[in-house]
Amino acid sequence: MKLLLRFSFLLLVLGLSFTACKKAPKGVDAKTTAATNDAATANANDKMFNITEGQLQWTGTKVGGQHSGTVKVKGGEVAASNGQISAGTVDIDMSSITVTDLKAGDGKEKLEGHLNAEDFFNTAAYPMATFKVTSTSGSGTSTSITGDLTIKGITKSITFPANVAMAGDKISVVSPSFKINRTEWDVKYGSGLIGTAKDKIIHDEIGLVLSLTGQAK
């Protein structure tokens, strides 16, 4: 009886672990719609900031595990006043994609090469992604940002929450984790949409955290 109970408990633990690994990344679903192609303009009293540092932290999940990493923000600018953003452009260096949960020699280089390849983001042909603010609401910790995100030459409008902090000649913008559906930008490797076997599926949702710092011009 004890042996049977232990075996049943082991099956339960393994089952729960397997189920957990099948979950998509955590985060708010970023509302995705057709691109507006209508970038917002700065207000007369706004201060302009050059983006001096930033990154996107990403998390991708699959049946059986997950990987995480970063992509560098190369530059851009933000217009804001009193903790409220009115306009902005963010330039993202897709060729800088890095895997942070694997060590060198432990599959890190192979995965980074695959993410850069045509199967995924095809960074040789599309080295840059951009995000252009089209509208915002709220301010400070209650900011909501809408803008056109272009990846692989495809542009979609997304909306996500953010925390905007201004102090003197500096600004920081940090989002909580939010999710986009990568297939909207023709990144379909391992997706169930193309008939991938259930035990090899990579979830369509990518978890993202955006962080930026800027210096007044």
* Structure confidence at residue 93 (pLDDT): 98
Q: What's the one-letter identity of residue 88?
A: G
Residue where the block lists tokens 């997950």: 66
Q: Are strands 178-181 and 28-29 parallel, antiparallel or unpaired?
A: parallel
Q: Is the dihedral of CA 204, 55, 67, 189 positive or negative?
A: positive
The two tokens of residue 193 are 């949409």
Q: What's the one-letter identity of residue 47?
A: K
CB 91 within 8 A of CB 132: no
Tens-level pLDDT at each residue, the chain (217 residues) = 444 444 333 333 334 334 344 577 888 999 899 999 999 999 999 999 999 999 999 999 998 899 999 999 999 999 999 999 999 999 999 999 999 999 999 999 999 999 999 999 999 999 999 999 999 999 999 999 999 999 999 999 999 999 999 999 999 999 999 999 999 999 999 998 999 988 889 999 999 999 999 999 9
CATH class of 23-216: mainly beta
* Structure confidence at residue 24 (pLDDT): 73
CB 213 within 8 A of CB 77: no
Q: Are strands 47-62 and 84-99 parallel, antiparallel or unpaired?
A: unpaired
Beta-bridge partners for 149: 131, 156
* Structure confidence at residue 39 (pLDDT): 95
- Domain-by-domain residue ranges, the chain? 23-216
Integer Cα distance of 176 and 113 in angstroms: 28
Greatest alpha-carbon pair distance for the chain in Å reads: 77
* Structure confidence at residue 121 (pLDDT): 97
- What are the backbone angles phi and psi of residue 44, rounded to the nearest 5°? -60, -35
Q: What is the dihedral of CA 193, 198, 202, 207, to 10 degrees?
A: 90
Q: Which residues contact 154 (CB under 8 A, 6 or more apart)?
A: 184, 185, 186
Integer Cα distance of 216 and 12 in angstroms: 56
CB 75 within 8 A of CB 82: no
The two tokens of residue 107 are 């599959």
